Chains A and B, each alone.
Chain A
Amino acid sequence: MNDMRIVKRDVDMNDIKISAKGVQVYYGDTHAIKDVNVEIKDKTVTAFIGPSGCGKSTFLRCLNRMNDTIDICRVEGSIQIEGEDIYDKRVDPVQLRAKVGMVFQKPNPFPKSIYDNVAYGPRIHGLARTKADLDEIVEKSLRRGAIWNEVKDRLHAPGTGLSGGQQQRLCIARAVATEPEVLLMDEPCSALDPIATAQVEELIDELRENFSVVIVTHSMQQAARVSQKTAFFHLGNLVEYGETGQIFTNPQDPRTESYITGRIG
């Protein structure tokens, strides 16, 4: 990859934000994640790649305890964010999710107006003191989600009335509105056209200044464009994890190489 990025990377690579050790996830009897160890750096974009069904979404959902909502799901091992075990009894998953935001694989706007969709998080967490504050947060978030121009005239129309790609960007705007420290994005660009994709990638790059971003993607190009670190999952195992440049140019594991070159899919 290009040199500029390597320079920048040295500056940014300070500390570890999330550290997962020996993570196992079971859905009933299905063993979906097998002994995954990974360290995600602060102010970095980390990409998860791998064939469909390999457990990317499952692992991503472990990082903000969204798996708690699935009855049959069991998580073992330790996941620490800034040194604090998030599966500790004292940790409030609600607080955690405010800090670790998420954009889901399938767009899921609430059956409310576009405005209320974006204002949902800020209202719950009391981020705006006045109506004007809230208006500002909503506008800023919609701009960051690259959808402001399309919806600014119909903020009070229902969010469910938007197209699939617009809904996806609305969900991105909704997630960034709560100012999370970590943003987990599960295939955020799967329904987007190239222009919107470019805008979202720009947003991801911008978020990296302050937050760490984890993105699941099926597009190698996208992983290469936006991420600094890449993790390759296969059948529930973390096969290889390292610098994006190195994974794409010089993979250590034969499985990684065949996936990147298009031989396992």
Chain B
Amino acid sequence: MSTLLIVALVGALAVVGYVLGVRRAMASADGDLRLLHSLKGYYGQNVALLVLVPSLLVLVIWMTVQPLLIEQSVLGMISNTDVAQGSSRSLMMADVRRVADGLDVAVAQGAMSRDAASDVRVDFTNVRERLASVGVAVGSTVTQSTLEAAQKFRALAATGNMIRGIVVLLIAAAGFGYALKQTDKDFRARNVVERGILVLLIAAASIAVLTTLGIVFSLIFNTIDFFESFPGADFFFGTRWEPSFSGRGGASDLGFLPLIWGTLYISIIALVVAVPLGLFAAIYLSEYASNSVRSIAKPVLEVLAGIPTIVYGLFALLTVGPLLVNIFGADGLLGVNWMSGGTAAMTAGLVMGIMLIPFVSSLSDDIINAVPQAMRDGSYGLGATQSETIRQVILPAALPGIVGAVLLAASRAIGETMIVVLGAGAAASLSLNPLEAMTTVTAKIVSQLTGDGEFNSPETMVAFALGMTLFVITLALNVVALIIVRKYREQYD
């Protein structure tokens, strides 16, 4: 039974349940609305919720657990000799899955009968070609053991899906029956629905948290793999970043310091540009600008936020870089030779700063506008000027929000990639000169993974270690900021 069909059936049952719930409640009160404990819609919602929530919850859990279980049992069928032929167990497993899916597709398209699909043998049919003809590409010739594993996979999946459908529908039916039986004029449907909504909201919140945990775990395992083949001390304290890809041979230097230095340096340049400009723009817009100016300037500023970062990258590469070379380069306006090429930390930092201005300004603008007018009146009433009022009353009151806006901008800056790739160059360096090329953690993650190195060498696995470290650093940043904000709140709330 397909997932879609199950969901549709459960949904239909919920709709029927709603209608019956309302009817039953009305009947129990002899049609007099005032005798009901809750509004009649609540009885219907109660039934619908009891049908939907438990059954769909089971469906979701089933759908995540079943493939794992099937994989476990199929994995045993792949013989070790097959694995030895230059590929790993997980690659074999991927092949099995592809073949199984391919057979399903072939059946669905009518290219094979159901029986033919479960009877295919390698010696009679060229499975690879058959599958290619229905549009499923398999990497290598299909061996007998792969095929058998795939058949087992299909059989298990079919039984599993069957049982799943039955179980889910039974649960929905049980919810339906139970809720209808409960329905009665004195039943407190309103309170139950209220609690149901609370549960839904909590579920939504936990999904966000769980996803974050999932991301962390997926990074952690790969990171541990990396540190098994590369010494941690060399990674964290190495001052040179010179990966050598397997083709060229030789050991790599995978020092983290030049990368994080580049990330922080460029982010700080960006924030130095974005925070004052964004904040001043926000203050102008919210405190000084007339309504007509505001209604034009604010959207215009926010358009900046909609520009894709690759466009900013081009702007850095084609405009800002050459401009800076014209000023600081060999034959430049200043007559100094500080800058040899257009790609530099300064180029990327300036452009990134421009990109961040609308973030800072539109968030701060909202926050400043949220400061009550009574605060301003109080200050003006004591004979303060507009800028005194802003500095001494409005900004302190808005500070927690502004710190939040700046942090958001900081994490954008740290995570930004395209502008860095195009504007800052690719050479990792631990230089103090902002006019020199630098690179960042994110840019290197991209370049390590887009090469054609094997997916298990330290040179590629380092990307996970980089990602993880970046994650920990931004997390620490946010925690520190939260502490600051909270401390401030306690003082003035």
Contacts and interface: CB of A to CB of B under 8 A. Distances in A.
A26 interface: no
A171 B378 CA distance: 9
Contacts of B384: 94, 120-121, 124
B379 A66 contact: no
B375 A97 contact: no
A111 B493 CA distance: 7
B291 interface: yes
A69 B383 contact: no
Interface in B374-427: 374-385, 388, 392-393, 396-397
B377 A174 contact: no
A161 B374 CA distance: 16
B375 A110 contact: yes
A97 B378 CA distance: 11
B379 A94 contact: no
Interface string A132-159: 0000000000000000000000000010
Given A108-B375, A110-B375, A94 B381 contact: no
B455 interface: no
Given A110-B378, A158-B491, A71 B383 contact: no
Instruction: Specify the main secondary structure of chain B where it touches its partner.
Output: helix
B124 interface: no
A96 B377 CA distance: 14
B492 A124 contact: no
Nearest to B290: A71
Give the bracket for the number of chain A residues in contact with chain B.
20 to 34
Nearest to A93: B380
A125 B379 CA distance: 12
Contacts of A160: 492-493
A175 B492 contact: no
Interface stretch (A41-49, A98-106, A210-218, A243-251): A98-106
Contacts of B491: 158
B396 A174 contact: no
Instruction: Indicate the size class of the contact surface on chain B.
Output: 20 to 34
Contact of A71 (B291, B378, B392): B291
Nearest to A103: B381
B383 A94 contact: yes
Contacts of B396: 110-112
Nearest to A71: B291
Contacts of A166: none
A176 B169 CA distance: 74
Contacts of B397: 110-111
B372, B375, B383, B393: most-surrounded residue (chain A CB, <10 A): B383
Given A111-B492, A160-B492, A160-B493, A104 B377 contact: yes
A120 B382 contact: yes
Contacts of B383: 94-99, 101, 121, 124-125, 178
B162 to A, nearest CB: 63
B374 A97 contact: no
29 contacts: A66-B381, A69-B376, A69-B380, A94-B380, A94-B384, A97-B382, A98-B383, A101-B381, A101-B382, A104-B378, A104-B381, A108-B375, A108-B378, A109-B378, A110-B378, A110-B392, A111-B396, A111-B397, A111-B492, A111-B493, A112-B396, A121-B384, A124-B384, A124-B388, A158-B492, A158-B493, A160-B492, A161-B493, A171-B378
Given A96-B383, A97-B381, 10 more contacts: A69-B376, A94-B384, A97-B380, A97-B383, A111-B397, A121-B382, A124-B382, A125-B383, A160-B492, A174-B378
